[in-house]
Amino acid sequence: MQTVFQSYSDAEKFIETYEKENAQSYTKWHMRNHGIDKLSSMEGHRIWWEDRRGAVPIDFDGVPFVCVQSEVRQCHQGKDKRKRKEEIVGDHVYGSSRRRIQATKKMNCQASIRMKMVVRFPEYKIDGHASQWKKRIVSNKLREEFSASTQQDFRVYLKIQDNHEGHMVGEDNEITSGFQWYSHIHSPF
């Protein structure tokens, strides 16, 4: 499922309601350039017309754009990022003296939410068929004419890959975990 939002806060609200409705939790796993929503210069940015890379493809619609941010959120029972190896020196194993039945709660779940934040330039839209030559001419024109007053349209492309594996999901998860979340606690007094 791929969705488009006009702002990062709208995407955050959507993810929050999605987590509550489906009784799931996602943690931020990887972020790049967080906090950019308007460009001040084109330096160091590539102009795209379509982006087929990665899990969040952006199709050609005639409007050039620049990718400014990306974010990946993994299921809370996703991959274990920590390397849990005990240090072996000689005949001894130096690790935790506490005996654990399960070293981690991670179940290597592949479910994730991927976001790609782009700044679009609707003033430089190409109508109809666009050849490589036409795209190059418009891209060069955009780089030359770019200023802070250039019209910029911020978009967030969000894709949910909901393929949980290795653990229960939804209401079944609450039953087996042995506890429930309460929004308020009643005092006996």
User: pLDDT digits over 116-128, tens only?
Assistant: 999 999 999 998 8
pTM score over 0.75: no
| 70 in Cβ contact with 11 (< 8 Å) | no
Q: Is 177 helix (H, G, I), strand (E, B) or coil?
A: helix
Domain regions of the chain by residue span: 2-80+108-169
Q: Is 40 helix (H, G, I), strand (E, B) or coil?
A: coil
Predicted confidence pLDDT, tens digits, the chain (189 residues):
688 888 888 988 998 898 888 778 888 877 777 566 678 888 888 999 999 887 888 889 999 999 988 888 888 767 776 655 554 455 655 566 666 666 666 666 878 888 899 999 999 999 888 899 999 999 999 999 998 888 888 888 888 877 776 666 665 555 444 444 444 555 554
| 173 in Cβ contact with 167 (< 8 Å) | yes
Q: Which residue has the tokens 């190059």?
A: 136
Residue spans of alpha helices (H) in 23-129: none
Pair type for strands 65-75 and 26-32:
antiparallel
Q: Each residue of 80-113: pLDDT tens digit?
A: 766 555 544 556 555 666 666 666 666 668 788 8
Cα 29 to its chain centre, rounded Å, is 8
Position 103 scores a pLDDT of 63
- Kind and range of the H or E run holding 5: strand 2-5
Q: Is 44 helix (H, G, I), strand (E, B) or coil?
A: coil
| 70 in Cβ contact with 115 (< 8 Å) | yes
